[in-house]
C-alpha cells in the first residue's frame, strides 16, 4: 500500500485494520465494543478521576492522555457512530485530611481540616474555595493540552441530586455493601465504618461515624454526633452525606453508567471491591485497564507527598508535550522510571516514529505511537537533527544562547532557520535548558593517558587534513582509521567494509576526554555539524588541560 493510499483510507478500511491491530488502545477499545454487543447503549462514557487536595500532576496527564487514546480507538472501531464522552471527575466533596506543603497561608487551611474541599477557604485567594481553586487548575491543565472532556464536580453532583437515586439504592442494600467492605478492614476501622459519611449541618465537617439506625423508606440514616453524643437523623440525598471512596466509586459508576475507567496497579483491590458494590447496586462495572506505577531514579514509587520523580512542569521545561505523550503511550503495563534522564530518549524516539510514519502502510501506522498521540493525524514535520545531537552541540560549545546553536545548524544546513523550522527552534530552547540544569553540573573531563594523548594528536592531525566541507561519512572514516591502531584496534570485529573493528574504548575516550560525559553521538556527524576547526580546537583544549 502506498503512503497516499494509507493516508486516505476510508472508514471501513480503517476499521478493518483497527479490528486486528495489536496496538493496546485498540485492544482496550475492542473490550468496549464487546460490552456494547451485550448491553447496547446510545453513548459510551469514559471517566478519569482526580483528587483535588493537590495540584494536577504528571499521573493526571497520563491517565487522561491514555484514556483519550482508547476513546479515539473506539471511535475508529465504530465508525464514530456512537456518541462518546470523557468525564474528568473531581472528588472535591472529600474531606481535607491534611494541609498540603506547597500552599500559602497554611494556618487558614488548617482551621478547616475535615471539611469538604469546596468548603475550605482558598489560600491563594482567587476562588471561593480551595477545591474550586484546584478544579480551575485542573481544567486549565487539561485545556492546555487540548483534551476533549467534560468537567464534573462531586459537590455539584451530590447537591444537585444527580446521585440521589443511586444513594437511595445503596441505603436499600446497605447490609450487602457492608458485607463486601467489612472483611477488608481491621477491627478498629470495622467498628466505625459506614459507606455514608454525614456532613455536619453546624460545622460542615465530613464525619467518620457509624450508623445507629437506617430508614430506607424515608431515605435517612441516624448517627451519634461525636462531640455531643446526640442522635442526628439526616437524609442521604441532596448532598447531606458523602460516600466513603470505594463505595463512592461504585456509586458513581452506577449513577453515571460509566463504561471505561483506568486505574493504577495500587488500586487493583479497590477496583475489585467497587465492582462488587456496583453489581449490588444494579450497575455494571466499567471495563478497565490497570497501568503500572511510575518510579523515581532510585526505583521507588513516585509519590505526590514525597515529591520524588518528575513534575509535569519540569518535563515541559525540557521537552515537548508530544514526547511526554509518547512516554505515556509506551508499555503502560510496565513500571517505568519517570526521571530526567528518560527525556532525551523520548524526544528522539518521538521524532523517529514521526519520520517513520511517512513510509509506513496503513497497518503499520496503526501501531505507530504517533497515530495514537495525534488521534490519527500526525503532523507532517521533521527535525533535521536529533535532540541528543543538540545536547552534544550545546555541551561542546557551552552554548548559553540559541544564536550560538543556530550558527552551527545554519552552517551545516543552509536555509534552516528558526522561522523555517519552528519545532527545531523549540527543541533548541529545550536543549539549552536541559544542558544548564543536568549536563553542565555533571560534566567531568577525564585526563587521557600517554597512549590516548598520542591517539588524540593523530586524530587532530588527520582531521586537519580534511576539507572544510567534508561529509559526516568522510569524517567518521577518519575517526575509524585513527582508532584502528593499538590499543583500540579490535581484530575480532569487522567493519562493514571488511576492515578490522574498533574498540568501544576509542569512542568512550572521545566522549569522556573531549565532551566530559560518558556517552555521545556518532562522532563523524557531530564533527560535521560542530565544524572541523571547532573540533580541532576542542582537542587542543583537552590536550592542554592534561599537559
Instruction: Tell whether the model's pLDDT for residue 7 goes beyond 70.
Output: no
Is 490 a residue whose pLDDT tops 50?
Answer: yes
Is the pLDDT at 360 greater than 50? The verdict is yes
485 or 70: which leads in pLDDT? 70
Please give the helix or strand (H or E) that residue 405 lies within, else none: helix 402-412
In this prediction, residue 117 carries a pLDDT of 95
pLDDT score of 6: 41
Q: Are 396 and 388 in contact (CB under 8 A)?
A: no
Residue 376: pLDDT over 50: yes
pTM: 0.91
Please tell me the predicted confidence (pLDDT) of residue 308.
62
pLDDT at 497: 72
C-alpha Rg value of the chain to the nearest Å:
30
**Residue 336 annotated as lining a ligand binding site:** no
**All 3 cell numbers of residue 108?**
487558614
Averaged pLDDT for residues 489-500: 78
Instruction: Specify the pLDDT at position 295.
Output: 84
User: Is residue 306 very low, low, confident or very high in pLDDT (cuts 50, 70, 90)?
Assistant: low
Q: Poorest-confidence range of 164-168, 229-233, 338-342?
A: 338-342
DSSP symbol at 36: H
Q: Does residue 495 have a pLDDT over 90? A: no
- Per-residue pLDDT at 303 exceeds 70: no
pLDDT score for 203:
93
CB 305 within 8 Å of CB 216: no
- Residue 328's pLDDT is 96
Which residues lie below 8 Å from residue 403, measured CB to CB, with a gap of 6+?
none
Flag whether pLDDT at 404 surpasses 60: yes
* pLDDT above 90 (res 175): yes
Cell output for 401: 544562547
Q: Are 64 and 142 in contact (CB under 8 A)?
A: yes
| Average pLDDT taken over every residue of the chain | 92
Q: Kindly report, residue by residue over 181-226, the tens digit of the pLDDT.
A: 999 999 999 999 999 999 999 999 999 999 999 999 999 999 999 9
Residue 490: strand pairing partners:
501
Report pLDDT for 476: 94
Percent of the chain with pLDDT over 90: 79
Binned at pLDDT 50, 70 and 90, residue 299 comes out as confident
Listed in sequence order, the DSSP H helices in 232-361 are 245-256, 268-280, 312-318, 321-329, 343-357
Strands 241-243 and 196-198: antiparallel
Compute the half-sphere exposure of residue 82: CA atoms within 13 Å on the CB side of its CA: 22
Top pLDDT among 55 and 507 is at 507
| Residue 51 confidence (pLDDT) | 87
Separation CA 120–CA 138 (nearest Å): 17
Binning pLDDT at 50, 70 and 90, where does residue 304 land? low
pLDDT, average across residues 317-322: 95
Q: What is the DSSP pairing of strand 260-264 with strand 43-50?
A: parallel
Percent over 70 (pLDDT), the chain: 97
Amino acid at each position: 500500500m502506498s503512503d497516499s493510499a494509507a493516508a486516505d483510507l476510508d472508514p471501513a478500511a480503517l476499521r478493518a485494520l483497527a479490528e486486528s491491530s495489536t496496538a493496546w488502545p485498540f485492544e482496550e477499545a475492542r473490550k468496549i465494543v464487546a460490552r456494547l454487543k451485550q448491553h447496547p447503549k446510545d453513548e459510551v462514557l469514559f471517566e478519569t478521576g482526580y483528587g483535588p487536595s493537590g495540584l494536577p500532576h504528571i499521573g493526571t496527564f497520563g491517565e487522561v492522555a491514555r484514556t483519550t487514546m482508547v476513546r479515539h480507538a473506539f471511535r475508529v472501531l465504530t465508525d464514530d457512530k456512537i456518541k462518546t464522552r470523557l468525564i474528568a471527575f473531581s472528588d472535591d466533596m472529600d474531606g481535607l485530611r491534611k494541609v498540603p506543603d506547597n500552599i500559602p497561608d497554611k494556618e487558614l487551611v488548617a482551621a478547616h481540616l475535615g471539611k469538604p474541599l469546596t468548603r475550605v477557604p482558598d489560600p491563594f485567594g482567587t476562588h471561593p474555595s480551595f477545591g474550586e481553586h484546584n478544579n480551575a487548575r485542573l481544567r486549565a491543565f487539561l485545556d492546555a493540552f487540548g483534551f476533549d472532556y467534560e468537567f464534573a464536580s462531586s459537590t455539584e453532583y451530590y447537591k444537585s441530586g444527580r446521585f440521589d437515586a443511586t444513594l437511595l439504592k445503596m441505603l436499600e442494600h446497605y447490609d450487602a455493601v457492608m458485607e463486601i467492605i467489612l472483611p477488608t478492614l481491621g477491627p478498629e476501622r470495622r467498628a466505625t465504618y459506614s459507606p455514608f459519611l454525614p456532613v455536619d449541618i453546624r460545622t460542615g465537617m465530613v464525619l467518620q461515624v457509624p450508623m445507629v439506625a437506617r430508614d430506607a423508606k424515608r431515605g435517612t440514616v441516624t448517627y451519634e454526633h461525636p462531640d455531643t453524643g446526640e442522635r442526628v437523623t439526616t437524609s442521604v440525598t441532596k448532598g447531606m452525606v458523602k460516600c466513603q471512596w470505594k463505595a463512592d466509586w461504585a456509586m458513581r459508576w452506577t449513577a453515571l453508567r460509566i463504561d471505561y475507567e483506568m486505574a493504577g496497579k495500587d488500586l487493583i483491590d479497590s477496583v475489585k471491591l467497587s465492582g462488587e458494590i456496583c453489581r449490588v447496586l444494579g450497575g455494571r462495572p466499567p471495563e478497565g485497564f490497570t497501568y503500572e506505577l511510575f518510579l523515581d531514579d532510585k526505583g521507588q514509587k513516585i509519590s505526590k507527598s514525597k515529591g520524588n520523580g518528575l513534575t509535569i512542569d519540569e518535563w515541559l521545561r525540557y521537552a515537548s508535550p508530544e514526547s511526554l505523550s509518547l512516554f505515556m503511550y509506551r508499555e503502560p503495563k510496565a513500571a517505568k522510571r519517570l526521571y530526567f534522564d528518560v527525556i532525551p530518549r523520548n524526544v528522539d524516539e518521538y521524532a523517529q516514529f514521526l519520520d517513520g510514519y511517512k513510509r509506513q502502510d496503513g497497518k503499520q501506522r496503526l501501531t505507530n505511537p504517533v497515530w495514537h498521540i495525534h488521534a490519527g493525524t500526525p503532523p507532517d514535520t521533521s527535525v533535521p537533527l536529533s535532540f541528543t545531537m543538540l545536547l552534544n552541540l550545546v555541551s561542546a560549545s557551552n552554548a548559553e544562547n540559541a544564536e550560538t546553536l543556530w550558527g552551527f545548524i545554519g552552517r551545516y544546513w543552509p536555509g534552516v532557520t528558526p522561522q523555517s523550522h519552528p519545532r527545531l527552534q523549540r527543541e533548541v530552547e529545550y536543549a539549552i535548558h536541559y544542558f544548564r540544569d543536568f549536563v553542565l553540573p555533571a560534566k567531568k573531563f577525564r585526563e587521557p593517558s600517554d597512549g590516548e594523548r598520542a591517539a588524540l594528536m593523530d586524530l587532530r592531525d588527520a582531521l586537519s587534513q580534511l576539507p572544510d566541507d567534508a561529509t559526516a561519512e568522510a569524517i567518521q572514516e577518519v575517526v575509524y582509521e585513527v582508532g584502528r591502531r593499538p590499543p583500540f584496534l579490535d581484530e575480532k570485529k569487522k567493519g562493514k567494509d571488511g576492515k578490522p573493528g574498533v574498540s568501544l574504548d576509542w569512542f568512550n575516550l572521545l566522549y569522556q576526554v573531549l565532551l566530559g560525559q560518558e556517552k555521545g553521538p556518532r562522532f563523524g556527524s557531530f564533527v560535521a555539524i560542530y565544524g572541523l576547526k571547532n573540533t580541532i580546537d576542542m582537542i587542543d583544549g583537552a590536550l592542554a588541560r592534561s599537559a
